[in-house]
Chain A
Amino acid sequence: MSTGVKTHRITDPNDDTRFVDVDPYVIEGVGKSGWRYNQITDTIFSSYNVSSIVDDSTGNFDVNFTNSYSDAANITPEGTTRFTDFSGTGILAWDSFSTSSVSMNTKNTSGTNSDGSSAGTTSGGVLA
């Protein structure tokens, strides 16, 4: 017989709306994909759980996951994003999610679609 604390959910003692389910978040963990991508040279520097990246058009690209997420609603972007281009720092945004891919968009400070030289982020969630 196993020992230790047995619980299904860990809840913030001061706020019942803040909780994490033990299964699968604690057992399976989070932080399930990550990448760093230069769209100018269409080069993936490093990645985890990424099978490919699609260069769609200027400032638009999709990231395909090796292992799908179990639920698209539970994918959460984490970590940092970096992006530089002709006009300096820009904006990296998550356009849309599915369980198997995510669409990204990069804009320069003028709000125009622009290729990023170093876009990187991680996403968490439960994998299928």
Chain B
Amino acid sequence: MQLQHLKLWQRELALANAGYLQDAPQPTRCIVWEDPADLDAPAKITTPSPQWLRMATLGGVLPPVEAYHDARLSIELTDGRSYQGVTYLEAQDLRLFAKEKGEQVRHERVTDYPVHAAPVISSLTEQEALEYILKKDVPARAWSKAHGASHNRPNFVIAPREALPGSRFVRNAWGLNPDPASPIEVSMERARELFCRQVANRYLGLEAKLEKERGVAMLTGEPVEEKLQQLRAVDLKDLRRKAYEEVSTPEGLETLVPEILNEPPA
């Protein structure tokens, strides 16, 4: 199918209508990265959409990633400063600059978009497609030393998705480990804090829900009182003590969660 003459979004539409994007397989890899501008934030995971990946592996659809970088934007911040002819990568820094100054982007507009007219590239392997996504969707400060990426250790790794932890229980304690075989390292200090906060939130959420249902339960005979008693038997202080003194892994923390706080949605 010849698609070069169409706009990029029309190419996707044409492929979808012709059935090429149906049942596109899930990607097997992802990009795990950290933002050098906010190293305290949890590691981020960028995963291509199956439909985009299918277009990348088909070939003849996407422009070179440099065509995105050559786009120009005009950006106006809430402090009134206005920037014209900003490149795609400079726009990433401007958004960060605005955030750090407590400002926001008031207006952002694309003024030049060479993506449609650029020659299409040939078929990519999944690894090459991930490298493309890295340069398109991950801020350059994470992958380009010229834009602020660390000189000492990589700020990203392309890894098999199956190497990610199976449980997201302490997701916000995930940090980057630049080893594709084990791309996540968990900060146990942060994981323990999260555990305590999460258990308390679940406790309070469930307590509020059960209190609300109490009146109705008198008429329907549902075992709300029993559940409330089970909930109030949970000793939050003891759970905190165990988290800090008896457990040394994220999996161990998860096993500490009382059954009543693991209840699925009603």
Task: List which B69-93 residues lie within 8 A (CB) of chain A.
Answer: 71, 73, 88, 91
- Closest B residue to A47 by beta carbon equals B49
A51-B108 contact in complex given A57-B41, A128-B113, C-beta closer than 8 Å? no
- Residue-wise interface mask of A (39-70) relative to B, using a CB-CB cutoff of 8 A (1 in contact, 0 not): 01011101111111111111000001011111
Task: List which B145-161 residues lie within 8 A (CB) of chain A.
Answer: 161
B51 interface residue per 8 A CB criterion? yes
- Closest A residue to B104 by beta carbon equals A96
A115-B168 contact in complex given A99-B73, A108-B205, A110-B205, C-beta closer than 8 Å? yes
| Number of chain B residues close to chain A: CB under 8 A | 52
| List of B residues within 8 angstroms of A55 by Cβ | 44-47
A72 interface residue per 8 A CB criterion? yes
Residue among B41, B71, B115, B265 with most chain A CB within 10 A: B265
A81 interface residue per 8 A CB criterion? no
Asked if B108 and A98 sit within 8 Å, CB to CB, the answer is yes
Asked if A68 and B44 sit within 8 Å, CB to CB, the answer is no
| List of A residues within 8 angstroms of B88 by Cβ | 100
| List of B residues within 8 angstroms of A58 by Cβ | 168, 171-172
A109 interface residue per 8 A CB criterion? yes
- Closest A residue to B202 by beta carbon equals A86
Asked if B164 and A42 sit within 8 Å, CB to CB, the answer is yes
- Residue-wise interface mask of A (14-55) relative to B, using a CB-CB cutoff of 8 A (1 in contact, 0 not): 000000000000000000100100001011101111111111
Asked if B44 and A54 sit within 8 Å, CB to CB, the answer is yes
Bound-complex Cα distance A110 to B50 (A)? 33
In this complex, the interface size class of chain A, counting residues with CB under 8 Å from chain B, is 35 or more
| List of B residues within 8 angstroms of A85 by Cβ | 265
CB distance from A57 to the nearest CB of B (A): 5
B107 interface residue per 8 A CB criterion? yes
| 23 A-B pairs in the complex with CB atoms less than 8 angstroms apart | A44-B26, A44-B47, A48-B12, A49-B12, A50-B49, A51-B48, A51-B137, A52-B137, A54-B44, A54-B137, A56-B42, A58-B172, A66-B9, A66-B52, A67-B7, A67-B8, A68-B113, A70-B113, A87-B206, A88-B266, A96-B104, A109-B205, A110-B201
Residues of chain A touching chain B, judged by Cβ–Cβ distance below 8 Å, are 32, 35, 40, 42-44, 46-58, 64, 66-73, 84-88, 96-101, 108-110, 112, 115, 127-128
Residues of chain B touching chain A, judged by Cβ–Cβ distance below 8 Å, are 7-9, 12-13, 16, 26, 30, 41-42, 44-52, 55, 71, 73, 88, 91, 95, 104-105, 107-110, 113, 115, 133, 136-137, 161, 164, 168, 171-172, 201-202, 204-206, 208-209, 263-266
Q: Which 8 A-B pairs have the closest CB atoms?
A: A110-B205, A128-B113, A128-B110, A72-B108, A67-B9, A64-B137, A55-B45, A47-B49
Query: A40-B168, A67-B7, A67-B8 provided; 14 other pairs, C-beta below 8 A?
Result: A47-B49, A48-B12, A52-B47, A53-B47, A55-B47, A56-B44, A68-B110, A72-B109, A88-B265, A98-B91, A98-B105, A99-B73, A101-B137, A112-B201
